[in-house]
């Protein structure tokens, strides 16, 4: 399995939770009701799976390797991806702040939360499309077999040393539980059935 295939599998899991977040925001928009526990789970997922696990693999492993091959961070695709990662982080921070206020009993930030959630969902969906259909294809062409193995080893190190045993599986379970709760297609089980997800046996 190529490193880009691992990242694309993680994208499918992230998209699953984006679908759940969109459903939460839509329900809040229509009825004013917000499942704060589920939103808290989703935000935790985006902070730790999408960012600490997935984006870390891109920012600390894949992107520097591509830049060593001549990709420009200033004018090339990795720079655009980094900017979008930062924008996504700001959205998650603002959603978390709004959630804290809502959970404390103040419904005032609910419209802001809804707008932030919809904006974040659109941002990440478009971001994922750019990576899947542009950047990762360029990466596969630019990287040698030796480079690919170097990346696989680096990804394994992130899982083992930076996240810790069981962390990845924990968030796959969160994604599965949220999908079941909101009637969203569960891609986690499909990935697990097809091939070891993200290097897990």
Residue partners of 92: CB distance under 8 A and separation at least 6: 43, 46, 47, 51, 120
- CATH for 16: 1.20.120.520
Largest CA distance in the chain: 55
As for how many domains the chain has, the answer is 1
pLDDT value, residue 189: 63
Q: What is the pLDDT along the chain (201 residues), one digit of tens a residue?
A: 899 999 999 999 999 999 999 999 999 999 999 999 999 999 999 999 999 999 999 999 999 999 999 888 877 899 999 999 999 999 999 999 999 999 999 999 999 999 999 999 999 999 999 999 999 999 999 999 999 999 999 999 998 888 888 888 999 999 999 999 999 988 776 554 444 444 443
Range of the domain at 35: 3-199
pLDDT value, residue 149: 96
pLDDT value, residue 152: 96
């Amino acid at each position: 399995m190529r490193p880009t295939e691992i990242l694309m599998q993680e994208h499918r899991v992230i998209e699953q939770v984006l679908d759940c977040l969109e459903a939460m925001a839509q329900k809040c928009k229509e009825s004013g009701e917000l499942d704060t526990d589920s939103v808290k789970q989703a935000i935790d997922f985006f902070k730790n799976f999408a960012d600490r696990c997935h984006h870390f693999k891109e920012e600390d492993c894949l992107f520097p390797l591509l830049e060593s091959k001549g990709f420009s961070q200033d004018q090339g695709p990795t720079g655009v991806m980094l900017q979008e990662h930062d924008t996504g982080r700001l959205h998650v921070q603002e959603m978390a702040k709004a959630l804290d206020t809502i959970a404390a009993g103040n419904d005032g930030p609910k419209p802001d939360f809804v707008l932030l959630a919809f904006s974040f969902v659109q941002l990440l969906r478009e971001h994922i499309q750019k990576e899947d259909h542009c950047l990762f294809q360029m990466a596969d062409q630019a990287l040698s077999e030796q480079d690919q193995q170097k990346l696989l080893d680096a990804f394994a190190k992130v899982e083992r040393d930076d996240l810790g045993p069981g962390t990845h599986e924990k968030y796959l379970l969160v994604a599965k539980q949220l999908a079941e709760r909101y009637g969203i297609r569960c891609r986690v089980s499909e990935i697990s059935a097809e091939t070891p997800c993200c290097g897990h046996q």
